[in-house]
A = this chain, B = another copy of it.
């Protein structure tokens, strides 16, 4: 009712979830501390574990909530390489990205969340992508494409926006489209 009430469990919970989403996407699981999340959310640190149980559980909920591969996997298979190329080209010189992909590029070294990551990558990326692909070895072909996206994220993280020697946007998309076609080809 009143939008000015000061003690709102749901609102606080969502502020924490949003803050965790932003920080995990940008920095990865390990680099983000509970205190950073609390500060970003403007909430007390004890509330995080009260509402989510643990850091690990919070991470799982972030992935579960926002984990759709945003639109890229929807549409015709013929244009899928082009959409993947656009996605990679964009994330090579911008800040934002899908939380699942960001997490995959940046949190894969934390054994604590391997299970969560694995399940999420499988159900949100690999399986849907493979389902689109005709022909044999669909899962493997989807895996190769996913590896390319992941590696691009890793290098983006390492070299910063712009990465190395990126040509113009169109040329870059053209090149990447050809590569994704090779990945996904029957």
How far is A122 from B163 in the complex, measured between Cα atoms in Å?
Answer: 11
A 136-182 contacts with B by CB, 8 A: 136-141, 143-144, 146-152, 154-155, 157-159, 163-167, 171-172, 175-176, 178-179, 181-182
**Nearest-neighbor residue (CB-CB) of A182 within chain B:** B182
Query: Do A158 and B118 touch across chains, with their CB atoms under 8 A apart?
Result: yes
**Nearest-neighbor residue (CB-CB) of A140 within chain B:** B165
**Nearest-neighbor residue (CB-CB) of A183 within chain B:** B179
Query: Do B143 and A164 touch across chains, with their CB atoms under 8 A apart?
Result: yes
Count of interface residues, chain A, beta-carbon cutoff 8 Å: 54
* Chain B neighbourhood of A104, CB < 8 A: 154, 158
Query: Do A143 and B158 touch across chains, with their CB atoms under 8 A apart?
Result: no
A 1-26 contacts with B by CB, 8 A: none
Is A44 an interface residue when CB atoms closer than 8 A count as contact? no
Q: Which of B140, B149, B163 contacts A143 (CB 8 A)?
A: B163
Can you list 9 contacts pairing A with B, beta carbon distance less than 8 Å?
A30-B110, A31-B109, A104-B158, A108-B154, A108-B157, A109-B157, A140-B166, A150-B154, A178-B185
For the complex of A and B, 10 pairs with smallest distance between CB atoms:
A151-B151, A139-B165, A147-B151, A182-B182, A150-B151, A28-B109, A106-B109, A179-B182, A147-B152, A140-B165
